[in-house]
């Protein structure tokens, strides 16, 4: 799952990760976190400013290959960024007004 919110255009993007115990033991969770950090660092080149991103790892990420995890991350990020860009800008009256969510379910 990937959640994103628009920030001011001049603010640097921030990325956070949630990897719960349902993903696996500590070794597996740390592997997933390292992979997600690398995917996030790679995406900062294109989205260096204006986004707050939170990635919640699902249990299926424990068995996903690096290529699959990177592909899912990039697809969810691009879809979310596209949705945020296509929304009309509103005032900041609601804390979740600029938030959208994308996920890639696995079988």
Cβ contact 87:44 at 8 Å: no
Region 79-93 average pLDDT: 73
In the chain, domain spans: 2-86
Taking alpha carbons only, the member of 85, 72, 81 closest to residue 101 is: 81
pLDDT exceeds 80 at position 90: no
Q: What is the CATH number of domain 2-86?
A: 3.30.230.10
Which ranges of the chain does DSSP label H, i.e. alpha helix?
Answer: 26-43, 66-86
pLDDT of residue 93: 44
pLDDT exceeds 90 at position 96: no
What pTM was estimated for this model as a whole? 0.75
88 vs 96 pLDDT, higher one: 88
Q: What digits encode the pLDDT tens for the residues 59-76?
A: 999 999 999 999 999 999
């Amino acid at each position: 799952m990937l959640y994103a919110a628009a920030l001011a255009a001049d603010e640097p993007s921030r990325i956070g990760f949630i990897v719960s115990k349902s993903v696996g033991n500590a070794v597996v969770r740390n592997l997933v976190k390292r992979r997600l950090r690398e995917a996030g660092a790679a995406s900062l080149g294109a989205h260096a400013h204006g986004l707050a991103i939170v990635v919640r790892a699902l249990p299926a990420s424990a068995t996903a290959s690096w290529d699959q995890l990177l592909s899912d991350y990039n697809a969810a990020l691009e879809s979310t960024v596209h949705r945020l860009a296509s929304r009309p800008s509103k005032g900041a009256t609601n804390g979740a007004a600029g938030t959208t969510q994308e996920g890639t379910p696995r079988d």
